[in-house]
Amino acid sequence: MEEQQEIEALRKELEQANYEYYVLDCPVMSDYDFDHKLRRLEELEAAHPEMADPSSPTQRVGGKVADGFAEVVHRVPLESLQDVFAPEETTEFVQRVEEALSGGAEYDVEPKVDGLSVALEYRDGVFVRGATRGDGQVGEDVTENLRTVRSIPMALPEKLSSLIVRGEIYMPKKVFEELNTDLELRGKALFANPRNAAAGSLRQHDPKIAAARRLDIQVFNIQYAEGKEFTTHTETLEYLQSQHFKVIPHMVCHTIQEISQEIGCIGERREDYPFDIDGAVVKLNSLSGRTVLGSTAKFPRWAVAYKYPPEQKPSKVVDIVVQVGRTGVLTPKAVIEPVRLAGTTVTNATLHNQDFITEKDIRIGDTVMVQKAGEIIPEIVSVLKDERPDGTVPYHLPDHCPVCGAPVVRDEDGAHIRCTGAECPAQLLRHLVHFASRDAMDIEGLGPAVVEALVKADLVHGPGDLYHLGTGEVSKLDRMGKKSAENLIMALERSKENDLSRLLFAFGIRQVGQKAAKVLAVRFQTMDALMEATEETLTEVPDIGGITAKSIVEWFQSPQSLHLVETLREAGVNMVSREAPAGDKLAGKTFVLTGTLEHFTRDEASTKIEAQGGKVSGSVSKKTSYVVAGESAGSKLKKANELGIPVLSEAELIQLLDEA
């Protein structure tokens, strides 16, 4: 059958291209050809579902969304390693091995990837299951997520009936930086380090999210191989390489001197690896020797993990500079005299925030001890106060943004100090991304990548500039043709007609989320009326407390905010509420909805209640006025009965709304 042959040929060709690109780092097929062939394969597989194959390259994006992870009992335990922290301990390990084996042993030394350990299982050369290490005996089935890791081969050249290999999943440093940049632009919490990012990505219940995170793997062990014999660890690594796995870099050593030298070299090269490392692994090369040595209850006796001690050196604080991040957070950074740490020259050290500076009493002119936190970020460990020169003064962050001059405020629930400028250049990307987001102005086609391209091209300096863009200049941006540019311009025009509530949320005023923005728009009806409102007037509005009222008034008093409003007004952006003012017949009443309603969705019922001044809560308490119970009402109805709170049927709610 011709189509079956074409499917098989395309799968083989695309898998080879994946191997050349993701494992060998030597792409032969162009991105265009790859995408074209992949699309053809998708079309063929869609037309012939009977030829579906989970190992097909088309399944790399992840399809099935899992409800949970099934347990996997490891056929061979995934043991952890005993840590050693000093050269003397490494020497003691080698001496124990030499004594047990009567000398002459070889050792394999590898970087220890700081990631998430997994077992990959193949049957007849096809990947069938992947699991996390878990406790070493039982892990979690993350097969669908592992299919999205491009460097894991789905089919092997040699079709062993059963093969289980072990590797370390990691997020490449470059991908980690890009991911955190995107999260920062979207105002979301950042990952602390690549390991946390990798672990969080691998345990996503939606494989498409894992696929987008571009995880990678370093394979370092054969756990089980049916019908294949090996004598040394290096033989197993060579075999894995021949089967298209991405294999850990390694070096064979014969003496403690060679081992120590290689450990030192790995430490010096740590910045060159695409992955983070947290040590070096020393393994006995002989597999029969490993059998002789065996394992303790916790660790194998034939391997150890050497953990690099954080290297600390003194340096002098030359200056303290303040950077403004994309979310407006002021981050202090110490400029220090150059010092060599963990293989690189360090000239800056993070100071985190004002609390950190105050706690350690760090001043310009101080001599400080510096180390790399987690072997990545330089930080100040302590101040050598005996060496402090005369005339130094405690350091305090500025009370105005160093970029735009707007006042700064401290977060109520944290140590961050943040710029309040509505047009702060440092926050431009984040402001624009939020402004265009689905829940704000909902400008289709204006995602982070396009926003960044517009800013880099110097076409946009604030939200108002978006509405003066032309098709011609937008179409010249990377990956933006004429049609995409036309669609974006039309989306911008449509957004001008949005309700006032969307615009208020798009401003990004502190404490003003979607719900508060809607309440404000309905209550004040126009932008001008809201701008004239006092704190006292605002606190009379349901759900607007004193802190939120103060934040709104201060925002509208800022020259940057006033300028932003005027530029949008001049561009023709709507500044009037499309919704009628709320009534007050249900003012002071709190409703809780439970069960399934016949005539409304819960959102529709909530909107009608709020339109009459009522409030809708998600939980029942003594302050609840009514519980509206639909079909299959559960615990909320039970609690209402226990507290003696009036319960309304849907018909009674409709009658109450009609009367209001």
Please state, in angstroms and rounded to a whole number, the distance separating the CA atoms of residues 332 and 320: 7
390-to-315, 323, 366, 385, 386 alpha-carbon distances in Å:
17, 28, 10, 11, 11
Strand order across the beta sheet in which 647-648 lies = 615-617, 590-594, 626-629, 647-648
DSSP-derived letter for residue 310 is: P
Residue 426 gets which letter from DSSP?
Answer: G
Terminal-to-terminal C-alpha distance of the chain:
71
Query: Is-catalytic flag, 476?
Result: no
Nearest to 542 by CA among 516, 503, 512: 516
Instruction: Say if residues 464 and 568 touch (Cβ distance below 8 Å).
Output: yes
Contact 344, 377 (CB under 8 A): no
Crossing angle of helices 546-557 and 559-570, rounded to 10° = 70
Locate tokens 């997994």: which residue?
A: 118
CB-CB contact of 514 with 500 (8 Å): no
d(CA 273, CA 218): 11
Backbone angles phi, psi at 219, to 5 degrees: -90, 135
- One of 12, 37, 64, 112 is an active-site residue; which one? 112
How far is it, in rounded angstroms, from Cα 283 to Cα 299?
Answer: 12
Joined tokens for residue 361: 């009493």
Q: Which two tokens stand for residue 426?
A: 């440092």
The count of other CB atoms within 10 Å of the CB of residue 26 is 8
336 forms beta bridges with 317
Q: Position of tokens 């401003």? A: 507
The Cα-based distances of 355 to 408, 410, 501 in angstroms read 16, 11, 37
d(C-alpha 278, C-alpha 625), whole Å:
58
β partners of residue 217: 169
DSSP 215-258: -EEEEEEEEEETT---SBHHHHHHHHHHTT--BPP-EEE-SHHH
Instruction: Look up residue 587 and give its two tokens.
Output: 């003012």
Structure tokens at 63: 């399809």
Question: Taking a C-beta distance cutoff of 8 angstroms, is the pair 78, 139 a contact?
Answer: yes
CA distance 577 to 99: 84
Q: Any idea which residues carry the catalytic annotation?
A: 112
